[in-house]
Amino acid sequence: MIANADGLTMQIPNDAAYVDIVMNTAEAFAAKVGFDGQDSARIRLAVEEGVTNIIEHAFEPGERTLFTVSFVPTTLGLRIEIHDDGLPYMPPAETPGDVEKSVGTRLMRGLMDKFSYVNLGAGGKTLVMEKYLARGNAVSAISASEAESYHAKATSDESPARIPRTIRLLEPGNLAEAIEIAQCAYKTYGYGYFYPDIYYPEKLLRMNSDGTMVSMVAINDLTGDMMGHSAIKVNGKGDKVGEGAVSFVKPQYRGQDIFGELSDFRVRQARSMGLKALYTQAVMTHPASQKGSFKAGFIESGIVLAVIAAVDWKGFSLTGAPQRTSAMNTVLYLEDFPEVALYPPANHAEMLGEIYAHQNRKVAFADAPRSGEPEEKRSIVETGGIPSSQYACVRYASIGRDAAGVLLGQMRHLARSGIIHTSLHIPLQSPFTPMLCAEAEKLDFYFSGVCLDHDGRDMLMLQHNNCEIDYERISTASDYGRRLLEYIRRNDPGERA
C-alpha cells in the first residue's frame, strides 16, 4: 500500500479473500475525503463490484498476479482507478453468467457519477469511476413562481436599449456567483443541460480552481446582476484543443448580444491559454446558438444527432413534443495547422474533402493499404460519457488488430446500459481508419463529421442512435449546415430502411 499527497494506491492479489480489505479501505478513504455514510457505502459497493469483476474475469484460471486500486481525491470528490494487465476487456455475450456481469456494470454506473473503461493496449486496461461530494445543488431555492416570472420577462419582441456591462472571469471562490450560474442554467434548460456538474456551485468552483473549466460572466453594471455565462472546458492542462461550452444568457437579457461579447472574451482567453483551437456544440432545437457560434467565427465540422436528452427549452416557442436534441459541431482555429496526411474512408472522401475545404484547412488524402493489418495487437480505446443523458463516446487513440471486436463488444455493453446515442471517434491519421469505419457501418454507425481530439489530431466522427429522429424538426442556421444534415440523413440506416 502506497500513500502520498495524491492519494492511496493498493497492490492486490487476484484472490477473492482480499475483496473485503479493499472495500473497507474504499469506505474509510471516502469518509476521509468528506463523503457522508450513505455515499461512502455506495462507493464501497461500486469498488466491490469492480474488484470482484477483475478477480473473476480478468485472468486465466489458476493465474496468480497483482492488480492495483488507486483512490485519488479530486477537486470534485474522489476518483477510483482499478488497473490490471489481464485479459483484454470485451463486453459479454448473451449468456446467463455474462448477464450477471452486465448487471454489475450497470450497478457501478448507477452508484457513481462518472464511469469509463480505458483500454491501454499492451499496457492493460483501467476502470475509472468518480463520485462527487454531495453539497446540494443550487436550484432547490428557486420557486415555481420565480421561474415563471423569469421567463415572462423574455417575451417582448422589441430591441432593448443597450445595458452597460462588464465581461470578466468568474471570481475565484465566489460562491454567490457560482450559485447564480447554476440557477441560470436551470432557468434556461431545466435539469436537461448536457453537463450536470453545472448545477452544483462548489463543483463549478473546483473545476475553475483546477483549470479544467475557465468560467466567464457578463455582469450588469447598473444592478450587479449576472446576465450570462460561458466557459472553456479541457480534459487537462496539456490539452491543445478546448471546448467552448456551458453558454447561456438569461432570457431578460436576450437581444443584448451578451453571447457575442462572451464569445469574443472566450477566444482571447483561449489564446492566452495556448490553445490551438476551440470547438463548440451548438444546439439545433433553435437557430440562436448556431448563429452565435457563426458570428464568433466558428465553422461547421459535423452534426451529432440526438446527443442530448429532450429538454424543455425555456423562453423559446417550439412546436411538438420535445425530442432528443441534436448539436452542430463547429470549430475555430486559433493558429494555422500544418498540412497532414489523412486516410479517409473511400465512401466519405468527397464529403470530408468538402468539409476541410469549407474550413480552409490544408490536408492531403492518402490511400489506405488494400491488405495487411495493424502492427499492434491491441487498440487503445477510451469509453466514457454522461449516463444522465444516455450518451457515450468511444474514442480510439490507436487502432490495433482487435479494433473491430472491441467495438462490437462495446456496443453490446452500451446497449445493455441503456445508452441511446454513441459517438465514435477514429484517428484519420491512421491508415486503418477506413477498415474500422467499414466495420462500424456494419453495426449501423453512420457519418457525423470531423472533430479535433484534445491533442489536436483529426478524428473521423461516426454516430449510432437508438431512437427515432424527426429530421424536419432539426433547425439549421446556415446553408452548409443544411448540406451536412442532408448528407447525414442519406447515410442514416434508419432513413434507408
Q: Per DSSP, what are the bridge partners of residue 333?
A: 277
Please state, in angstroms and rounded to a whole number, the distance separating the CA atoms of residues 157 and 244: 28
Q: What is the pLDDT along the chain (497 residues), one digit of tens a residue?
A: 555 556 889 999 999 999 999 999 999 999 888 888 888 888 998 999 899 988 988 888 888 999 999 999 876 788 999 999 887 664 444 333 443 445 667 778 778 888 888 877 777 888 999 888 765 554 444 444 444 444 444 444 455 789 999 999 999 989 888 888 888 887 776 666 777 778 888 888 989 998 999 999 999 999 988 899 999 999 888 899 999 988 888 888 888 889 889 999 999 999 999 999 999 998 898 888 888 889 889 999 999 999 887 655 444 444 555 678 899 999 999 999 999 999 999 999 999 999 999 999 999 999 888 778 888 899 999 988 877 778 899 999 999 999 999 999 889 888 887 889 999 999 999 999 999 999 999 999 999 999 999 999 999 999 999 998 999 999 999 999 999 999 999 999 988 75
Note the pLDDT of residue 299.
Answer: 96
Annotate 94-106 with three-state secondary structure: CCHHHHHHHHHHH
Note the pLDDT of residue 322.
Answer: 63
Note the pLDDT of residue 408.
Answer: 92
DSSP per-residue letters across 272-308: HTT-SEEEEEEESSSSHHHHHHHHTT-EEEEEEEEEE
Q: What is the DSSP letter of 164?
A: P
DSSP per-residue letters across 70-131: EEEE-SSEEEEEEEE-SSPP----SSHHHHHHHHHHHHHHHHSSEEEEEEEGGG-EEEEEEE
Check: CB of residue 447 under 8 Å from CB of residue 488.
yes
> Residue 400: which residues within 8 A CB-CB, separation 6 or more?
121, 374, 376, 377, 378, 379, 380
Q: Per DSSP, what are the bridge partners of residue 463?
A: 423, 446
Note the pLDDT of residue 359.
Answer: 95
Note the pLDDT of residue 95.
Answer: 39
Note the pLDDT of residue 1.
Answer: 57
The grid cell for 451 is: 472533430
Element (H, E) at 247: strand 241-249
The grid cell for 211 is: 483549470
Question: What is the CB neighbour count within 10 angstroms for residue 261?
Answer: 19
Q: What is the DSSP letter of 482?
A: H
Q: Per DSSP, what are the bridge partners of residue 3?
A: 8
The grid cell for 289 is: 446558438
- Letter for the amino acid at 316? F
The grid cell for 176 is: 454567490
Check: CB of residue 190 under 8 Å from CB of residue 137.
no
CA dihedral 424→382→272→188, nearest 10 degrees, is 60
The pairing of strands 2-4 and 7-13 is antiparallel
Note the pLDDT of residue 350.
Answer: 97
> Closest Cα to residue 242, out of 268, 220, 203?
268
The grid cell for 442 is: 456494419
Note the pLDDT of residue 42.
Answer: 87
> Closest Cα to residue 410, out of 430, 431, 427, 385?
385
Note the pLDDT of residue 147.
Answer: 41
CA distances in angstroms from 468 to 286, 385, 420, listed in the order given? 19, 21, 10
Note the pLDDT of residue 2.
Answer: 58
> Closest Cα to residue 276, out of 285, 284, 267?
267
pTM value is 0.72
> Closest Cα to residue 413, out of 81, 119, 71?
119
The pairing of strands 241-249 and 277-283 is parallel
CA distances in angstroms from 221 to 111, 162, 165, 463, listed in the order given? 44, 11, 5, 44
CA distances in angstroms from 227 to 177, 250, 254, listed in the order given? 11, 6, 9
Please state, in angstroms and rounded to a whole number, the distance separating the CA atoms of residues 486 and 260: 28
